[in-house]
Amino acid sequence: MPPSRKRRSYTAEYKVEAAHRVIDTGRTIAEVARELGIDAGLLSNWVKDERRRVDAATARGDTPLDDSERAELLALRKRVAEQDKDIQFLKKASAYFAAMQHNRTGSN
């Protein structure tokens, strides 16, 4: 029995960015899929989903994000994720140092 292949997962941001490489540039799905190293059928689904999302936003009177706004949103999400990691580290460090301080004062 051959070993099972691990299924790759993609973030929502990656899917949207990949879809917009097709939508915004007019390049073919096959071309972008080859460039990204993903299955064309998978990318096709992402493109359909993104077109539906954009159409729904337009129907509600919302304007979809342009390239620069999408890039800024991705950068901000990345920054928030990094700051969340920093906060978790600082919480652990402060708990450690508080315990160390407690042990020092408690042993006197």
Q: Is the pLDDT of residue 78 over 80?
A: yes
CATH topology of domain 9-64: Arc Repressor Mutant, subunit A (1.10.10)
Sorting pLDDT into bands at 50, 70 and 90, what band is 1? low
Indicate the domain borders of the chain: 9-64, 66-108
Mean pLDDT, residues 32-49 taken together: 96
Pair 66, 77: CB distance under 8 Å: no
Mean pLDDT, residues 72-89 taken together: 92
Among 50, 15, 43, which Cα is nearest to 29's? Answer: 43
Q: Is the pLDDT of residue 106 over 70?
A: no
pTM confidence score: 0.58
pLDDT of residue 21: 92
DSSP class per residue in 55-105 = HHHHHTT-----HHHHHHHHHHHHHHHHHHHHHHHHHHHHHHHHHHHHHHH
